């Protein structure tokens, strides 16, 4: 099961976080001669195996003709859509070139290095932000400009599906941990995660990635925003989106103070 996903990584436990393997916010500390870089994206799929959330989004993708997956990461969702027989236009965008390098293993999907606020004029039937990518829109400006761009990229009646973690359950109180994972090349990655601050809906945490055979470690600082249901409604309404459905978990149960997620499907008004 793939519930939470962290930055570039994710704990191998079913209780994790998500953020981004944002190379733009990383700080590489070299302690000796480098042979290969520590590349968390190399381990992303291993740390984030296919799960209930992916089944939820895949069903939406398979029923849409033109799909934009924003913050697509390594491209898992769109890869699976093609493998499952999707014949329409699939576009994955992400600001992280290391993640996109994994996605580009398929060339029958369009890949763009971009942020949510950069997406333009696609007339998408469906826009997705999966793996809690929506929470990377941390500032008011980024949230507003990204939602405006997302709406601008949607066809009339198009849908925007995404999830954000429920702040009521304060998941960050369980985020501090260290874990190790090995890939099929024999590389072992150790991830240490530590929450740095929780302030004004923004949780900031550091993840330190290290591979024993490499003489460097990579520290990624990420900030994720935790909007309440009410905040989210206001932001979507201001952007011209209408909430069609909202769930508290991948089994489509309602949002409650205890549910882990706020899963939203919103739409643009239909023409006329």
Ligand X SMILES: C[S@@+](CC[C@H](N)C(=O)[O-])C[C@H]1O[C@@H](n2cnc3c(N)ncnc32)[C@H](O)[C@@H]1O
Binding residues vs ligand X (CB under 6 A)? 5, 18-22, 48, 70-73, 76, 94-96, 99, 115-116, 130-133, 136-137
| Contact call for residues 25 and 40 (beta carbons, < 8 A) | no
* Residue number, 80 or 89, with CB nearest to ligand X: 80
The enclosing H or E element of 229 equals helix 229-238
Structure tokens at 105: 């293993």
* Residue number, 72 or 91, with CB nearest to ligand X: 72
d(CA 43, CA 207): 14
Please, what is the minimum distance in Å from the beta carbon of residue 234 to ligand X?
20
* Residue number, 70 or 189, with CB nearest to ligand X: 70
Phi, psi of 240 (to 5 degrees): 90, 15
Q: Report which DSSP code applies to 32.
A: S
* Residue number, 210 or 225, with CB nearest to ligand X: 225
d(CA 194, CA 1): 23
Please, what is the minimum distance in Å from the beta carbon of residue 101 to ligand X?
12
Residue number of the CB closest to ligand X reads 131
Please, what is the minimum distance in Å from the beta carbon of residue 35 to ligand X?
25
d(CA 108, CA 78): 10
Please, what is the minimum distance in Å from the beta carbon of residue 211 to ligand X?
20
* Residue number, 93 or 254, with CB nearest to ligand X: 93
Q: Minimal CA–CA distance to 191: which of 50, 12, 2, 1? A: 12
Please, what is the minimum distance in Å from the beta carbon of residue 270 to ligand X?
26
Q: How would DSSP label each residue in 121-142?
A: ---EEEEEE-TTGGGG--SHHH
* Residue number, 19 or 66, with CB nearest to ligand X: 19
Please, what is the minimum distance in Å from the beta carbon of residue 31 to ligand X?
26
d(CA 237, CA 158): 15
* Residue number, 156 or 196, with CB nearest to ligand X: 196
Is 107 exposed, middle or buried (CB count within 10 Å of its CB: 0-12, 13-18, 19+)? exposed
Q: Minimal CA–CA distance to 219: which of 232, 205, 208? A: 208
d(CA 249, CA 204): 24
Please, what is the minimum distance in Å from the beta carbon of residue 111 to ligand X?
12
Rounded to 5°, angle at Cα 84 from 78 and 87:
75
């Amino acid at each position: 099961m793939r519930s939470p996903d962290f930055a570039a990584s994710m704990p191998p436990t079913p209780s994790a976080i998500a953020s981004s393997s944002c190379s733009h916010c990383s700080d590489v500390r070299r302690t000796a001669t480098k042979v290969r870089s520590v590349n968390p994206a190399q381990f992303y799929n291993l740390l984030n195996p296919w799960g209930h959330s992916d089944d939820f989004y895949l069903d939406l993708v398979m029923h849409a003709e033109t799909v934009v997956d924003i913050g697509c990461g390594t491209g898992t969702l769109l890869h699976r859509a093609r493998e499952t027989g999707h014949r329409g236009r699939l576009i994955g965008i992400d600001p992280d070139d290391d993640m996109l390098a994994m996605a580009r293993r398929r060339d029958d999907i369009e890949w763009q290095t971009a942020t949510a606020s950069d997406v333009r004029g696609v007339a998408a039937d469906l826009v997705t932000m999966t793996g809690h990518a929506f929470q990377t829109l941390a500032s008011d400006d980024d949230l507003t400009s990204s939602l405006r761009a997302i709406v601008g990229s949607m066809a009339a009646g198009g849908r925007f599906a995404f999830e954000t973690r429920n702040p009521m359950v304060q998941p960050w109180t369980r985020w501090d941990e260290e874990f190790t994972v090995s890939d099929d090349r024999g590389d072992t990655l150790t991830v240490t995660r530590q929450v740095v601050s929780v302030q004004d809906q923004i949780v900031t945490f550091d993840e330190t990635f290290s591979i024993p055979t490499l003489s460097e470690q990579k520290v990624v600082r990420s900030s994720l925003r935790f909007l309440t249901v009410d905040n989210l409604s206001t932001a979507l309404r201001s952007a011209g989106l209408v909430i069609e459905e909202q769930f508290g978990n991948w089994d489509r149960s309602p949002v409650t103070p205890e549910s882990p997620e706020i899963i939203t499907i919103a739409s643009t008004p239909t023409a006329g």
